[in-house]
Structure 1
Amino acid sequence: MMVSFKRKRLYRVGSRPLEVAVDDVKALAEAVWYRGYRPTRVELEQLRGVMSREEFQRALCVLELLSQYPVCRRETARHLQQLARYFHRELLGNDDTPVQGRYSPSKRWGLNDATGPLRKALLPLQTRTYADATGHQHGLSA
């Protein structure tokens, strides 16, 4: 039941422009960062079958964005980045992920969506105080 709820959340994140999907992105961030949610390639392939290309790219963009935050567990971040690279090659024929520094996942995925509102909304969720208060392991854990 929870897997379908998370898949539904991923669908909702991808189905609307990112600046409109802020609450869904925050809920997805909570699941990824604090509850151990790691979408599988099979799960993403299933979503790909029911979403438009742009919607699917938007969902992948958000997963890649979430992997950039220090609060994301290292193994989860690697997993999300591997999925992003795989699907980027599948959809766009290449993988031009910058190896250092910050970059805009929305531009990399060819989206016009602004990620500024998302980054601002995610700030309170990725502080050490908030992360520790969840009672779950996270990327800032000692």
Structure 2
Amino acid sequence: MTVSDTHQQLYQVGAHPLERSVDEVKQLAEAIWYHGYRPTRAELERLRDLMPRDGFQRTLCVLELLSQYPVCRRDTARHLQALTRQFHRQLLGHDDTPTQGRYSPSKRWGLSDATAPLRKALLPLQTRTYADATGHQHGLSGSKAGPRQERP
């Protein structure tokens, strides 16, 4: 996957309400969880210049959501959480990420989008059987698994 492909994927994730972006989110999850894709701050800054604010917030919401799954590698999850915290402070002026329990990333990002369809669609992609079948390292591999700051 090239940089322009992933940039386009990030754009598509936020271009529509989350319940209409399920396929795009699944593709992004595959790229992040199994192919080592880690969006950079510079890449997200460029994306912010191209997208309406609510679309950019959707993209950040999805990145935060994907970081919460145990199948996301620990280093990638921390990277995504740090990026989303920085942008949350810039866009909304504060960062009140809960460190325990369930919460709604879409509400945290000021969106009315439902994340339930995304969570349901991501279930088959984040099982240990599926993850191991990819042949790639993932958050459930060996000692890389462990408790996360947040969980879906």
- TM-score normalised by structure 2 residue count: 0.92
Q: What does residue 135 of structure 1 align with?
A: 135
Q: What does residue 94 of structure 2 align with?
A: 94
Computed over aligned residues only, the root mean square deviation of the Cα atoms, in angstroms, reads 0.7
User: What letter corresponds to residue 96 of structure 1 in structure 2?
Assistant: D
Q: Which runs of 5+ in 1 are unaligned?
A: none
User: What letter corresponds to residue 122 of structure 1 in structure 2?
Assistant: L
Q: Determine what percentage of the aligned residue pairs are the same residue.
A: 77
Q: Distance in 1 between matches of 2:35 and 2:22?
A: 19
Q: What does residue 12 of structure 2 align with?
A: 12
Q: Secondary structure at the match of 1:19?
A: helix
- Which contiguous aligned blocks of 4+ residues in structure 1 show a shift greater than 4 angstroms? none
Q: What does residue 47 of structure 1 align with?
A: 47
Q: What does residue 146 of structure 2 align with?
A: none
| Mapping for residues 80-119 of structure 1, pairs under 5 Å | 80-119=80-119
Q: Which runs of 5+ in 2 are unaligned?
A: 143-152
- TM-score normalised by structure 1 residue count: 0.99
Shift in Å, 1:8: 0.2
Q: Distance in 2 between matches of 1:102 and 1:76?
A: 20
Shift in Å, 1:101: 1.2
User: What letter corresponds to residue 85 of structure 1 in structure 2?
Assistant: R
Q: What does residue 38 of structure 1 align with?
A: 38
Shift in Å, 1:102: 1.7
Q: Distance in 2 between matches of 1:2 and 1:133?
A: 23
